[in-house]
């Protein structure tokens, strides 16, 4: 998988997710097998660049290259400025967000709302590609609703503008995250452009990743929500694609150690108070399907200090390891998750 001058280690990519793909999460996913991890989106509005949130989103210290940063906005000039700003701060690939279905993004005529205006799509892509000397990629959806699937046209516009790779979520803007992803449009796009195409949507297992690659002909797959609390998913997919055999579930002790490491990174990156609060959702994702974890999650969400949170997590996994060598899922937990 090649994006401009960068040869990725493999064809597994972490999707950009606001509030999730911060530097600690990206580093962990890359260490566990992802070939590329895209940052949370950075707003194109320069008035927001000085905020603590934006400063953290543009902090790539210690991150494995290549570093890909997603920008979001609807004004071509601002998007070009944002691309230059992020390249100055270490971005080696600029990704453009035309896929986010969130109301606050679409109400600002950004994200997947842009798919309604193909002329504006072209102006934005032209401006960003011209503004920087690094590869520009585009993440978008199949269209804005089921009656307006214009991804093939948008893909051709992007290729003409000089975009170097396309990531397509197999849903329309109107679908949000409901229903199931459709891959026919992704396959159609793949047949109409010569640049790399990355398939995204409902890829939650090694077998599914292989099926989607075969069904769409895509060069790579992008994984988002399925990696929340399961960063080892990339390792499992990589192994399956290479050998045709599935890895066993990770050992309880390893999952506990990974979560412990992740929490320490969050405390360092955000500071203790905010780190503890952000860690709660990650703890919930790591443990949501583990047998007997519901009372643990309820208790740990009341803890306010990093030492108490770490101690509770370590105790939970040490107790779980006494009875289960590898992850064991309870039916009641799966049904509730």
Please identify every residue annotated as catalytic.
Answer: 100
Do residues 198 and 13 touch, judged by C-beta distance below 8 A? yes
Q: Is the dihedral of CA 137, 8, 25, 170 positive or negative?
A: positive
The CA-atom distances, in angstroms, between 189 and each of 25, 34, 194 are 30, 24, 10
Residue 168's beta-bridge partner residues? 140, 199
Contact 130, 84 (CB under 8 A): no
Cα(272)–Cα(233) distance, rounded to whole angstroms? Answer: 28
- For residue 168, give both structure tokens: 């397509």
Q: In 10 A of CB 27, how many CB atoms?
A: 22
Q: What backbone torsions phi and psi does residue 210 show, to the nearest 5 degrees? A: -65, -40
Cα 23 to Cα 38: distance, rounded to the nearest angstrom: 10
Residue 81 and residue 104 in contact, taking contact as beta carbons nearer than 8 Å: no
How much of the chain is in helix, strand and coil states, percent to nearest 5?
50, 15, 35
* Buried b / exposed e along 77-95 (16+ C-beta atoms within 10 A): ebbbbbbbbbbebebbbbb
- Cβ count within 10 A of residue 194: 7
Cα 120 to Cα 111: distance, rounded to the nearest angstrom: 12
């Amino acid at each position: 998988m090649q994006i401009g001058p960068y040869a990725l280690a493999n064809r597994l990519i972490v999707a950009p997710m606001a509030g999730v793909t911060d530097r600690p999460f990206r580093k962990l996913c890359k260490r566990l097998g992802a070939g590329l991890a895209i940052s949370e989106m950075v707003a194109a509005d320069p008035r927001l660049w000085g905020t603590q949130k934006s400063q953290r989103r543009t902090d790539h210290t210690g991150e494995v290259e290549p570093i890909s940063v997603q920008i979001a906005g609807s004004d071509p000039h601002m998007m070009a400025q944002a691309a230059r700003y992020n390249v100055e701060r270490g971005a080696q690939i600029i990704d453009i967000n035309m896929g986010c279905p969130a109301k606050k993004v679409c109400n600002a005529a950004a994200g997947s709302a842009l798919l309604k205006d193909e002329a504006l799509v072209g102006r934005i892509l032209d401006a960003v590609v011209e503004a920087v000397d690094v590869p520009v990629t585009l993440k978008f959806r199949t269209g804005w609703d089921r009656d307006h699937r214009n991804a093939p046209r948008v893909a051709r516009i992007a290729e003409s503008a000089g975009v170097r790779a396309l990531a397509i979520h197999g849903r329309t803007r109107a679908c949000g995250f409901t229903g199931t992803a459709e891959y026919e449009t992704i396959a159609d796009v793949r047949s109409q452009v010569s640049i790399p195409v990355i398939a995204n949507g409902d890829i939650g297992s090694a077998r599914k990743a292989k099926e989607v690659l075969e069904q769409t002909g895509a060069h790579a797959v992008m994984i988002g929500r399925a990696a929340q609390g399961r960063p080892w998913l990339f390792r499992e997919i990589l192994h399956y694609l290479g050998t045709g055999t599935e890895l066993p579930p990770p050992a309880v002790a390893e999952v506990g150690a990974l979560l412990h490491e992740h929490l320490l990174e969050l405390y360092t990156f955000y500071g203790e108070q905010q780190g503890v609060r952000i860690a709660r959702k990650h703890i919930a994702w790591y443990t949501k399907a583990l047998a007997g974890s519901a009372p643990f999650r309820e208790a740990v969400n009341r803890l306010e200090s990093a030492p108490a949170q770490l101690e509770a997590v370590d105790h939970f996994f040490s107790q779980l390891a006494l009875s289960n060598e590898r992850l064991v899922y309870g039916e009641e937990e799966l049904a509730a998750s």
